[in-house]
Structure 1
Amino acid sequence: MTAPKTPGWLDWCAAPSTPDFRLPPGAVDAHCHVFGPQAEFPFAPERKYTPCDAGKDRLFALRDHLGVSRNVIVQATCHGADNAAMVDAVRAAGGRARGVATVRPDIGDAQLRELDAAGVRGVRFNFVKRLVDASPREDLAAIARKIAPLGWHVVLYFEAADLPELAGFFGTLPVPLVIDHMGRPDVTKPVDGPEFGRFLEFAGRHDVWVKVSCPERLTVTGPPAYSDVVPFARRVVEAFPDRVLWGTDWPHPNLEHHMPDDGLLVDHVPRIADTPERQRKLLVDNPMRLYWPGETA
């Protein structure tokens, strides 16, 4: 028996446009998810939402439609710490995907090595209060110590207003850090204001990579241009050209106002990375160095 979707849930765009911007060969979608399918990969009992099905076949079809070469599949909170759906998708991609898992602090070395062999290269720590009940720092620090010998990184998801209370803890983690969605800045505030300046200072001081993803989550002005998000993403690309990543966030969980056209999200790229060199670093060189070191695109 499958559970019904959360009321008001917005499904992914079934017919995305063909992008006008042609992605460079080897481009990586460095932030996407799979949901189920629920009948095969049940959702976690403790989940905060019940999404639509969005399995690996749909993800790979979108990959090919957009002209993406590879994916980084990030564990969705609706699956909790059961990484089976994500790992199944990574394995099915035949080397063209990597994974970011959610794990519990009691995970053993053998389980971590199994995930590593499957293609997992990081774990996600979620500090968004509406999505998780708690993120005990002692448990997360223990996980970071366990994954460090594997060369993995930690993906951090938090709201901009919470960075001051979290920055000290983040700075103690003994692994590289990857920040989702530019730390979710408030784009109604100045790009050169103190809040975003604090984020840029933190990213510059530590071993931090930043995803310039999800304009649809941050915007107030809306699609198709997401013009209010552009200055923030462009500032990050200019400040950290060798440590920025891009992703679609497909299938776009928990959106309330509009479901983005993934083709238009590709067309957003040249607005934030305005030269071929910056585009290649953002889309190819940086994600390859982080997720497929030693391989060529």
Structure 2
Amino acid sequence: MDPDYLPFHPNPSKPSYVPPPGAVDAHCHVFGPGDAFPYAPERKYTPCDAPKERLFALRDFLGFERNVIVQASCHGRDNRALVDALQSAGDKARGVAVVGPDIQLDELRAMHEAGVRAVRFNFVKRLVDATPKEVFLDIAEKIASLGWHIVVYFEAQDLEELTPFLKQLPTPIVVDHMGRPDIAKGVQHPDFQRFVRLLEENANIWTKVSCPERLSLSGPPGYDDVVPFSRHLVERFPDRALWGTDWPHPNMKSHMPDDGGLVDVIPRIAPDAASQQRLLVDNPLRLYWS
């Protein structure tokens, strides 16, 4: 692990909030272990090992029944750790892979059989090298035939430039972490409202209301400054919002979140049983298990 990054919380608290039956942690990762699933040579960071066994134990401890496991850039296009975790989890997990332009349909079908239902396009410049948009469009056409969708990761300052590209994609789109808004600017700032308009104008675009620990200026335990952003999206787009822990929280330097504390933020962003049911059960099941 890189020396300036923190390992995941060794003893998260038991959350006070109890998720509804069937709840899904719709954004988490597995890393390594490195001796079995080596990290990509081109990676921009080296995380701590975070194997499937620890993820599944956390899932049960927090009161969730399923995971959506997302391939992270440290493993590059080598999805073996992801596929291994999916095969071990059976119907309790689905996956989001990272693939290259040379991916073949038979390879995609094998990943589909393991539980992969999406690919991820990463536009965060500090994490990955730039890829031509034409490459992503070619991949999008391939995976559309399987009924998959596309997960996109970008930062708020890049949204305006990316919007024409996003509108070209032929599948549903899920935006990681609310498009990483600048929390200091507030919900009504034009930058965040640009993201809101994107969802208003494109019914195929979903969002994850995740990662307050990455966005907050006020910090734990409640991440109070991020809550209004998440709640706004849950209220405006109740059928297109997902939630996830982002365990094991790669690249965190200032603090490592308590995953139990993150779960306890859920009723503040989805304050009633109906909205919690949609956020944690109905929406992820419709997108990943239907």
Q: Do both proteins adopt the same fold according to a TM-score greater than 0.5, normalized to the shorter chain?
A: yes
The equivalent residue for 1:246 is 243
The equivalent residue for 1:290 is 287
CA RMSD of aligned residues (A): 0.6
Letter in 2 for 1:164: E
Asked whether the equivalents of residues 125 and 135 of structure 1 are also in contact (C-alpha less than 8 Å), the reply is: no
Counterparts of 2:186 and 2:81, CA distance in 1: 40
Task: Single out whichever of 81-90 and 203-212 deviates more from structure 2.
Answer: 203-212
Deviation at 1:133, TM superposition (A): 1.1
**Structure 1 residue 11 corresponds to structure 2 residue 7:** yes
Counterparts of 1:160 and 1:132, CA distance in 2: 16
Q: Secondary structure at the match of 2:67?
A: strand
Counterparts of 2:183 and 2:198, CA distance in 1: 18
**Structure 1 residue 137 corresponds to structure 2 residue 133:** yes
The equivalent residue for 1:196 is 192
TM-score by length of 1: 0.97
**How is 1:32-181 mapped onto 2 (pairs within 5 angstroms)?**
32-181=28-177
The equivalent residue for 1:263 is 260
Structure 1's consecutive aligned runs of 4 or more residues displaced over 6 angstroms after TM superposition are none
Deviation at 1:24, TM superposition (A): 0.5
**Structure 1 unaligned spans of 5+:** none
Counterparts of 1:256 and 1:266, CA distance in 2: 21
Q: Secondary structure at the match of 1:72?
A: strand
Letter in 1 for 2:32: G
Q: Secondary structure at the match of 2:108?
A: helix
Deviation at 1:204, TM superposition (A): 1.6
Aligned residues: 289
Counterparts of 1:157 and 1:67, CA distance in 2: 27
Q: Secondary structure at the match of 2:136?
A: helix
Q: Secondary structure at the match of 1:114?
A: helix
TM-score by length of 2: 0.99
Letter in 1 for 2:125: K
Asked whether the equivalents of residues 34 and 85 of structure 1 are also in contact (C-alpha less than 8 Å), the reply is: yes
Asked whether the equivalents of residues 126 and 135 of structure 1 are also in contact (C-alpha less than 8 Å), the reply is: no
Deviation at 1:106, TM superposition (A): 1.0
**Structure 1 residue 214 corresponds to structure 2 residue 211:** yes
Q: Secondary structure at the match of 2:117?
A: strand
Deviation at 1:135, TM superposition (A): 2.4
Deviation at 1:256, TM superposition (A): 1.3
Deviations 1:45-81 (A, max 9, x none): 0000111110000000000100110000000111000
Counterparts of 1:136 and 1:57, CA distance in 2: 36
Letter in 2 for 1:208: I
Deviations 1:18-37 (A, max 9, x none): 00001101000000000000
